[in-house]
Amino acid sequence: MTIAFQSGAGERVESVTRRADELFAQYRRSIHERTDRLFAGLMAFQWLMGIVFALWVSPLAWEGPVSRTHLHVWAAVLLGGLISLFPALLGLLRPGVPSTRYIIAIAQMLMGALLIHLTGGRIETHFHVFGSLAFLAFYRDWRVLIPATIVVALDHMLRGIFWPQSVYGVLVASQWRWLEHAAWVLFEDVFLFVACRRSIAEMQQTADRTAALEHEVRTRQQAELDARTARARNDAVLEVALDCVILMDEAGRIVQFNPAAERTFGHSSAEAVGTELANLIIPARKRASYRTALARYLMIGDTANFNRRLELLAVRRGGEEFPVEVAIAPISSEGAPMFACYMRDITARKQAERELHKSRDAERQNAEQLAELVDELRITQRQAEAATRAKSEFLASMSHELRTPLNAIILYSELLQEEASDEGDQSSIPDLQRIRSAGKHLLDLINGILDLSKIEAGKMSLALETFDVNVMVDELVDTVGPLVYKNGNTFAVETDGAIGTMFGDLTKTRQVLLNLLSNAGKFTRDGAITLAIRRSISDDALPCVEFVVTDTGVGMTPEQSRKVFDPFTQADVTTTRKYGGTGLGLAIVLRFCDLMGGTVSVDSRIGEGSRFTVRLPVQMVDAAESIPAGVA
Amino acid sequence: MPTILIVEDNEPSRDVLARRLVRRGYGVVAAVDGQEALAKARSARPDLILMDLGLPVMDGWEATRRLKGDPATRHMPIIVLSAHAMTTDRELALAAGGDEFDTKPLRFPRLLEKIEFLLARGAVAK
């Protein structure tokens, strides 16, 4: 502030001086113009008065008894007009111009000279000269006195020498008398000069003062305007502010209460202003601490609770409490300290925060539950794996333990059959056959279970070798013959010429076909069984060999077809009893095909028969061996 | 007729196998563990040995290896019998020096084929 004032000072003085000069010039010009116009009137008046004087004082004076219009009347009319007209016109048409007042000054003095002459040099008429000078002083321009004085002096000197009667009213006069007249004129000039100077000085002072005053007024007006604008702007800001803005005095009484505050707290500005803030919007139990904080600031300037955001409880009209965010700031203003209190209703935000908190908690809980679940799953999986391993080991050892007694049972039943046959005891042979058959069935079951458990335990690997498909099929037909022909079935092998060789697991390939063909034989009575073999392309576009086993047996429903590869789920629970078999044959087929990188599918109609299609790659890869090779 | 040494710890299995072979006209000597098998092989000088794997005192693999390592017994063909149908058993048995392998329960006709084949091969070799 101070700095701004200093830097503005020079400018201010300059502008005021300029304004003062302007005012001074204006005053002077106005005086000049006014005086010019005054003289224009005065000229006319003097002219008239000159004529009146000429008529009244000396109309007949110069010719004795002859009474007629004297020459002087005409002189007054003509000369007076001649002298007055031009300056009067100048005074009216060109007022204020310096030449106008000089000409007027000369004309005025000439007019005086004329009047003196017309009045026959009457000494009284000389006062006109002093009056005229005083009038000229109206110009406040002492310079006009110079030509005026010169005219008077010259007039008196010339006429005093050559025509004393005209100027002094006497026929003979001292030729130095004009000097005395001129000295009196100069005497007056001195006073008028001083008066003019003083007047000019006063005029200058007035101009200065006026300019200063104007400046002062203007400054004040500007300041007031600024203040009003600032207030209006502040009011507008408070008016549209989204936050509550409340101004308080040092006693905590509300001075201003903006519309946002009105909306938030439910009190009108008119109600609020003058009330103590604490009483209006702070819950009763919190008022004491609020007042303490305010008092502490006022007393020791403790600003711990000022100029920072606080979260407090406020109360609405009607008593509803709600959370607000508050910032209280002392306002530095002249006079008593004031406070601005900014408040924002944060009910919604608090609500959102709570929701967020809740949802975060829920999320965390979910994550924890998920982690627990994953742990449980992992444990379960480990347990399941351990259980599978244990089961496989159990099955393997069980199979071993079962085989030994089974070995004895089968061999003994065969032995007894042989002995009975030798001794001709036919009666016990069927029973011994049943014992042997049951033992064989049990053995098949054990073998099947062992195979499945080995596959599931991942212990089944491929024994890859190159073999001729046609040779394999020929051998197979020899083995499987009794199984397919037994129910009065026909059996045909259809090959597309020489299939060539495969690089694969011969034993498992044979096992698959054996299982399928023995199955077909089992479920077909007086029907036809075919094994078709051809080269094909797998779904993965790899060359493969396709084996299709078709029968005209009992067939299956779609429901049965779907489950046919599951272990121990023969098409019907009665099936095992009726047709025999372990219920593991097709389960083993599916797993062997998977293991060999092939596929098996079934197409069956109840009462019409079934068709099993096996596709095995021509070039098999042992998955168990290829994986480490791939990694390396 | 050729003599066959049966090495088997399970009494019924040993008995039934012995009786069935006797019915086929073979001479039979029996041992219940690997240790006894080595002794019987030296003393009885069998033409062929049926060797079970899971034996007390000395198991079948060890006995097979010893028999095949002994010049006095190495010419005797050995058929290894296992109740474990694992391929590894078969490979281990053959690696130990067994000439053939069969799984239990035995299919007697098949076993007879193998016995006859090995004896015929031995006869040719002699």
CATH pick for B3-125 out of 3.40.640.10, 2.120.10.70, 3.40.50.2300, 3.40.50.12780: 3.40.50.2300
pLDDT score at A394: 75
User: Residues A66, A162: one domain?
Assistant: yes
Which residues from chain B sit within 8 angstroms of residue A411, using beta carbons? 13, 16-17, 20, 105-106, 108
pLDDT score at A8: 44
User: Residues A434, A306: one domain?
Assistant: no
* Residue A619 located in a structural domain: yes
User: Residues A341, A365: one domain?
Assistant: no
A104-125: per-residue pLDDT in tens? 999 988 888 888 887 777 788 8
Q: Taking Cα atoms as reference points, which of A624, A623, A572, A600 lies closest to residue A512? A: A600
Residue positions counted in chain B: 126
Put simply, whether B104 touches A (Cβ < 8 Å) is: yes
Put simply, whether B22 touches A (Cβ < 8 Å) is: no
Which carries the bigger pLDDT value, residue A289 or residue A306?
A289
CA R_g for chain A: 71
DSSP B19-42: HHHHHTT-EEEEESSHHHHHHHHH
pLDDT score at A572: 54
Put simply, whether B12 touches A (Cβ < 8 Å) is: yes
CA B25, B31, B36: angle at the middle one, nearest 5? 140
pLDDT score at A2: 37
The CATH number given to whatever domain includes residue A318 is: 3.30.450.20
Mean pLDDT over each residue of chain B, to the nearest integer: 87
* Residue A47 located in a structural domain: yes
Which residues from chain A sit within 8 angstroms of residue B86, using beta carbons? 396
Of A407, A409, A415, the CB nearest to B19: A415
Chain B segment 25-44 residues within 8 A of A by beta carbon are none
CA R_g for chain B: 13
pLDDT score at A4: 39
Of A404, A414, A418, the CB nearest to B83: A404
A124-142: per-residue pLDDT in tens? 888 888 888 888 888 888 8
For the cut 80, the answer to whether the pLDDT of residue A334 exceeds it is: no
A85 exposure class (CB count in 10 Å sphere: 0-12, 13-18, 19+) = middle
Q: For A300, what's the count of Cα atoms within 13 Å in the CB-facing half-sphere? A: 6
Q: A412 to chain B nearest CA, in Å?
A: 6
Residue A614: pLDDT band with limits 50, 70, 90? very high
Residue A629: pLDDT band with limits 50, 70, 90? very low
For the cut 90, the answer to whether the pLDDT of residue B3 exceeds it is: yes
Residue B22: pLDDT band with limits 50, 70, 90? very high
A506-556: per-residue pLDDT in tens? 888 988 998 888 888 888 888 889 999 988 887 777 888 999 999 998 888
Of A400, A414, A463, the CB nearest to B83: A400
pLDDT score at B58: 87
Contact B10 A404 (CB under 8 A): yes
Please tell me the least confidently modeled range out of A194-208, A327-341, A481-495, B4-18.
A327-341
Nearest residue in chain B measured CA to CA from A401: B83
Percent of chain A with pLDDT over 90: 7
Nearest residue in chain A measured CA to CA from B16: A412
| Bridging pattern class, strands A490-495 and A528-537 | parallel
Of A403, A412, A418, the CB nearest to B104: A403
Which residues from chain B sit within 8 angstroms of residue A401, using beta carbons? 83
Cβ count within 10 A of residue A180 = 12
User: Residues A287, A320: one domain?
Assistant: yes
User: Residues A67, A154: one domain?
Assistant: yes
Contact B13 A406 (CB under 8 A): no
pLDDT score at B95: 80
Residue B29: pLDDT band with limits 50, 70, 90? very high
A344-378: per-residue pLDDT in tens? 888 888 889 889 999 989 989 999 998 988 888 88
Compute the average pLDDT of residues A383-397.
Answer: 76
Which residues from chain A sit within 8 angstroms of residue B23, using beta carbons? 415, 418
User: Residues A135, A281: one domain?
Assistant: no
Residue ending a domain, choose from A411, A430, A460: A460
Residues 6+ apart with CB under 8 A from B102: B79, B80, B81, B82, B110, B111, B114
ipTM above 0.90, yes or no: no
For the cut 80, the answer to whether the pLDDT of residue A580 exceeds it is: no
Which H or E run includes A346?
none
Residue ending a domain, choose from A316, A345, A374: A345
Contact B19 A399 (CB under 8 A): no
Which residues from chain B sit within 8 angstroms of residue A463, using beta carbons? 87
pTM for the predicted model, two decimal places: 0.42
Which residues from chain A sit within 8 angstroms of residue B83, using beta carbons? 399-401, 403-404, 407
Compute the average pLDDT of residues A238-260.
Answer: 85
User: Residues A102, A184: one domain?
Assistant: yes
A186-214: per-residue pLDDT in tens? 998 999 999 999 999 998 998 989 888 98
Split into its structural domains, chain A has a count of 4
pLDDT score at A292: 79
The CATH number given to whatever domain includes residue A615 is: 3.30.565.10
Contact A396 B10 (CB under 8 A): no
Compute the average pLDDT of residues A25-35.
Answer: 90
Which carries the bigger pLDDT value, residue A307 or residue A517?
A517
The CATH number given to whatever domain includes residue A404 is: 1.10.287
For the cut 60, the answer to whether the pLDDT of residue A244 exceeds it is: yes
A449-489: per-residue pLDDT in tens? 777 777 776 777 788 888 888 888 888 888 787 778 878 88
Domain that holds residue A554: 462-631
* Residue A385 located in a structural domain: yes
Cβ count within 10 A of residue A46 = 24
Give the residues across from A468 on adjacent strands: A501
Compute the average pLDDT of residues B103-122.
Answer: 87
Residue to substitute from A404, A459, A595, interface B, most B β-carbons within 10 A: A404
User: Residues A167, A27: one domain?
Assistant: yes
Q: A542 to chain B nearest CA, in Å?
A: 30
* Residue A267 located in a structural domain: yes
Percent of chain A with pLDDT over 70: 88
Residue to substitute from B21, B59, B86, interface A, most A β-carbons within 10 A: B86
Round to whole Å and give the CA distance between A176 and A162: 12
Round to whole Å and give the CA distance between A476 and A472: 6
B42-101: per-residue pLDDT in tens? 999 999 999 988 888 888 888 999 998 888 888 899 998 887 655 566 777 778 788 888
* Residue A224 located in a structural domain: no
